[in-house]
Amino acid sequence: MTEALIPVSGSPLIWGEVLMAGDLWRCGVQGGAENQGMDKSQLRLILRVSLLALFAILVLSIGLAIISDKLLPDELAEWHRRNNATNFGVTDVLGLLFWIAGVGLLFVSMVGLFFYQRWSAWMFLGVNLVFSLQVLFSPTVEPGLLSFIGGWSDVLTGLVLGLAFFTDALSEGA
């Protein structure tokens, strides 16, 4: 990666005063001027819009998951039906309860984040970590559309976590 050389001060280039443009950006200086960054109201707006988009994507994903057999090719849909055709047992009930509790806690944490509560960032992180472990327990077959939407859900989740933990969006005060 090639970065432009920019003098630190307005003086002519002096050896030792030259930094890479990327170093200036990381130091909070862009083009010789100080980077004030976003104010808290902008960060909070981005957080709220991201949470609303994430909520919409999650609702859409749940709706599409209900009809996912119809979106799969015939061979995979048949395998999916055979795999799910077993009797509804105790492990299925426990899995369903786990899923319902997880979705409930996820929505509670999203509401908390919408109102800038610090505890909800930790709950959001914990629920996402636990949900990410569910793929270890069974094979997953899903249509490409659900995978695409899931990718955007991951992007928005990362954005929300980044705003919650690495900015002042959740800090007290105006």
DSSP assignment string, 95-160: HHHHHHHHHHHHHHHHHHHHTT-HHHHHHHHHHHHHHHGGGGSS-----HHHHHHHHHHHHHHHHH
What pLDDT, on the 0 to 100 scale, is given for residue 24? 39
What pLDDT, on the 0 to 100 scale, is given for residue 174? 53
Q: Is the pLDDT of residue 28 over 50?
A: no
Q: Is the pLDDT of residue 21 over 60?
A: no
Q: Is the pLDDT of residue 9 over 60?
A: no
Confidence of residue 41 (pLDDT cuts 50, 70, 90): very high
Q: Is the pLDDT of residue 136 over 90?
A: no
Confidence of residue 17 (pLDDT cuts 50, 70, 90): very low
Contact 79, 141 (CB under 8 A): yes
Average pLDDT over all residues of the chain: 80
- Of 27, 60, 54, 40, nearest to 170 (Cα)? 40
Structure tokens at 4: 């432009």
Place of tokens 């919650």: 164
Bridge partners of 5, per DSSP, are 20
Per residue in 82-95, pLDDT tens?
777 667 778 778 88
- pTM of the shown model: 0.72
Confidence of residue 135 (pLDDT cuts 50, 70, 90): confident
What pLDDT, on the 0 to 100 scale, is given for residue 36? 63
| Residue 7 DSSP SS3 | strand
The residue ranking higher by pLDDT, 21 or 73, is 73
What pLDDT, on the 0 to 100 scale, is given for residue 148? 94
Q: What is the mean pLDDT of residues 11-15?
A: 48
What pLDDT, on the 0 to 100 scale, is given for residue 35? 45
